Amino acid sequence: MGHHPDGEDVDDFAPLDEFGNVDASESSDANESFDANESFDATHDGHAVYTDKKRRRFRKAAWIVVVCLVAALSGTFAAVAPHAASAAIESEGSAGERSQAAAVLPVVKPASVVASPVSGAKQVNPAAPVTIAVKDGTLDRVSLTSTKGTTVDGALTPDGLSWTASTPLEFNSSYTFNYTVADAAGRATSKTESFTTVSTQNEADAAMYPLDGSKVGVAQPLQLTFSEPVVNKAAVEAAIKVTSTSGQAGAFHWFSDTMVRYRPENFWAANSTVTVDLKLFGVDFGNGQIGNFNRTNTFKIGDKKVAIADAVSHTFTVSINDQQVGEWPDTMGDTRFPSARGYLVLMEKYRVEHMDASTIGLKPGDPAYYGQLDVNYATRLTPSGEFIHQATDSALPYIGVTNLSHGCVGLGPDGAKWVFDNMGTGDVVQVVNTQGDYANFDDGFGDWNIPWAQYAKR
C-alpha cells in the first residue's frame, strides 16, 4: 500500500467492486499507464503520480455523468423501472408516418380497394353492378365516365366505404373510374381503373307482336322473335312478365331458339288488357349474347269473334261474344288441296289480293292451274296462302254446294265483305270436317291446336 506524503493512503482513492472491496486492477500502480507527454517532478516523492491518477478518475466520472444525461434525455432508460415508463407515446395515427411494422409504435394498415368490374375487364355486361368498396380507409371524389363523354351517376355511402352506380352502362363502351382513397392516417391516394362493356356483335334484341297499343282478337298469342338464338330459355322467360286485367295465367311455348309464344289456356277474355313487361337488358341469352333493352308493351283484347267454317255443310257461321250474328254459304279446299283443319287466327287484310298459281307449285297444263288473278275482300289465315275472300266469278255458282278452292274459304260478296269489315287480327276461324291436316306451327298462329298440357311444357 502506498502512502501519500500528506499522510493519506493512496488506495483510499481506489475504485471499489460491488462488495465494497478495492478493485486490484484499478489500484495497482504497476497497471497504471502514463502519457508519454506527461512529466512529473521526481523530487516530490511520487506526488505527481498521485495527481495524474486523480485527474484521470475525475475525467472518467465526468464522462459517466454525460452518458447518463444523454440516455435520460433520449429515453433509453425510460422503461428501466415501472414509474419510468409513464410518459405518453405518440401514436402513428396522429403522426401519419409509419406503414411498416416497427418496435413500440402501432402500424396504420394501408387502405385496400375492391372494384367491380375489375380494372382491365372486357365484355362487361352493361347491367352488371358497378361498385367500389374500401377497407381500412375511405373513398372520396369518385367518378365514372365513358370515352363517349357520358358520366354515370352514382352514390357514395355516408361512411365513405363504398360507391355504387345508379344508372346502367352502355354497350360497346369503355369506362374509366377515377377515385381517391385515404387510409386511417389521412394519407390520400388517387387511382384510375378502366374496363369495356359487351361489344355490339354480342347485343341481343327482340321484336314483339302484337305491337304496343294495338287491339287484337281473343285468339292472338303473344310472340317474341329474337335476333340471336336463346340458349338460356328459363332466364329469358323469367325476365318477361305477362299480366292481364282478366287475371288469366298463361305459358310460354318455344317453337325455335329464336321464337317463343305465350297464351293462356283458353282464349283471352273479351275486352281485357294485356301488359307485357320485358326486362331483357343484361339478360344472358347464352353464347355470350346479352339482351339490350327493357320495355313495357300493352295491347287490348276486343270482342270475342269466332267463325266456324264447315267443309261438309259448306257454311260459314260467325258469333260475337258467343251470340251468332251471321251465316253465309262457302266453298273450301277440294280433295287435292283440302283446307287446313283446326283453329286459324286471322292475320291481315287486303281489299284486293293478287294470287299466283305458281306460288303453290302449279304450272300451266295442270288442271288446277288458274294462272294469276285478283280477289276481293281477302283476309289472311296463313302465310302460305290460305285466305277468306270473295269467290271468283267462275266459283260463285258453287258456294254452298261443293268444295273447289285451293284451300281458301270462298264466300259470296256479302259474306266476304262482312268478314273484311267486322273481323280482324286475332279473331279466329275454326275449320271443321276437312280432310286437311293442321297448318304447320310456323304457318300462322296454330297455337290453339296444341293441347294445353303439351303447350305449357318446355
pLDDT band at 17 (very low <50, low <70, confident <90, very high): very low
Interval 116-140 mean pLDDT? 95
Q: pLDDT tens digits for 144-167?
A: 999 999 999 999 999 999 999 999
Cell of 379: 283476309
Classify the phi-psi angles of 311: left when phi > 0, otherwise alpha if psi is within -120 to 50, otherwise beta.
alpha
Instruction: With a cut of 60, say whether residue 119 has pLDDT above it.
Output: yes
What number of residues does the chain have? 458
- 23-32, 296-305, 330-339: which range is least confident on average? 23-32
Q: Are 343 and 429 in contact (CB under 8 A)?
A: yes
pLDDT band at 356 (very low <50, low <70, confident <90, very high): confident
CB atoms within 10 A of CB 294: 15
- Note the pLDDT of residue 75: 45
Active site residues: 389, 408
Instruction: With a cut of 50, say whether residue 94 has pLDDT above it.
Output: no
The share of the chain scoring above pLDDT 70, in percent, equals 77
- 77-86, 94-103, 376-385, 428-437: which range is least confident on average? 77-86
- 107-111, 180-184, 383-387: which range is least confident on average? 107-111
Q: Residue 262 forms beta bridges with which residues?
A: 222, 252
Q: Give burial (CB, 10 Å; 0-12/13-18/19+) of 149.
A: exposed
Instruction: With a cut of 90, say whether residue 97 has pLDDT above it.
Output: no
Cell of 337: 288441296
- Note the pLDDT of residue 61: 54
User: For residue 163, what are the CA distances in angstroms to 175, 180, 191, 314?
Assistant: 16, 12, 14, 73
- 167-171, 205-209, 277-281, 439-443: which range is least confident on average? 439-443
Q: In whole angstroms, what is the distance from residue 262 CA to residue 253 CA? A: 6
| pTM exceeding the 0.85 threshold for the entire prediction | no
Q: In whole angstroms, what is the distance from residue 458 CA to residue 452 CA? A: 12
- Note the pLDDT of residue 140: 87
- Note the pLDDT of residue 369: 81
**Mean pLDDT, the chain, whole residue set:** 84
- Note the pLDDT of residue 59: 59
Instruction: With a cut of 90, say whether residue 361 has pLDDT above it.
Output: no
pLDDT band at 211 (very low <50, low <70, confident <90, very high): very high
- Note the pLDDT of residue 363: 85
- Note the pLDDT of residue 98: 54
335 or 69: which carries more pLDDT confidence? 335
Q: Are 203 and 412 in contact (CB under 8 A)?
A: no
Instruction: With a cut of 50, say whether residue 441 has pLDDT above it.
Output: yes
- Note the pLDDT of residue 12: 44
Cell of 236: 329469358
Instruction: With a cut of 80, say whether residue 63 has pLDDT above it.
Output: no
Q: pLDDT tens digits for 217-227?
A: 999 999 999 99
Q: Are 115 and 130 in contact (CB under 8 A)?
A: no
- Note the pLDDT of residue 178: 94
